[in-house]
Structure 1
Amino acid sequence: MILLYIGLLMVAFLSSHVEGKRDAVLYCGACRALVDELQYEIRKVNPKKTIDVGSFRISPDGTQGKSKVPLATSELYLTEVLEDICEKMNDYGLHVDPKTREKSYKRFAPRDGEGIGSIDFNNFQFNPDDSNSLKFACERVIEEHEDEIFSLITHEADGLTDKLCTEKSGLCKEVLHHEL
């Protein structure tokens, strides 16, 4: 009985320390990168493309409750995009502002048809563990805030990054507080 009690105490102790405090820069960066990638994928879809959504049940008057919504903001399309979006976190790296020393995650890899531009790679800290951590954080953001993501996108919210990453999830509140 005592061994069971000690075992339970150890599990409780370890689980409280394993979760720990989230890295604010990492989770804020993951959220911002997620929104950036989502918006990029949405912009690629022809805005005139629509998809039928609604109930397949027939109402008493013989009609079905179906409607057309833009494909890019449909739950079907967004679910498909969200399945693979965190793989794109490999295109982001930890960036340290040379003047303020503030850390944030920024995209360094060009997208299809884009040039490298004026990216100063000297300000990035490339570490393979960072992209794995960012990918994991991205997956957690989706897991914990999927409903908010769908809601904000389907209601065409302006300022999606701030609404999701600061207002709804609170992931960037601490980072913004430090930047002020």
Structure 2
Amino acid sequence: MKDAVKAICRIWRPEWQGMLMGRLTYKKGNGENKAYEEIIRDGKLLRVAVRGRESGEFLELILSKPSAPKEGEKRPDEAAFWKSFSADEVRAYSKALGDHNEIHYTEKPVVSGFQIFESVMEEYPSDGMKISFHHPVFSGEEVYLMEKDQKIEGYTDQLCFVAVRS
């Protein structure tokens, strides 16, 4: 997956600063090693799709400008503690991938959607996964997971992301 993420980071545009990930879709390499990239702007949304040059992995993400925070679904009691990302971990991860979004380098950085995605994939391996982000996860916050069939829900105090394995 790192190959496809690095491909997205290579085409990063300064005007994307501060944008948040709305959805990320990943498919394991299919043997097609032809590099591919596509950027489509649709109003407030930005769709970026790449195929990793080395691995053939496909990664598509939807970015949007942050809007006023909405109160999300509260964490259920049955959700189990999963992990917490330190500010240093967030900054180091983003730097290693070449992710230039400033929101990952503040005093209390937003955890990269790529970092969350990769961590979920380590815990729940799959040939493909789609993850939708509902609320940012900040460094130092405790993240809880709850699995329902093929869905993995991630919470802090409220719903932050939903991953669906394919």
**TM class, shorter-length:** under 0.3
Q: TM (normalized to structure 1)?
A: 0.20
Radius of gyration: which is bigger? Answer: 1
Q: Which has the higher strand share?
A: 2
Q: TM (normalized to structure 2)?
A: 0.22
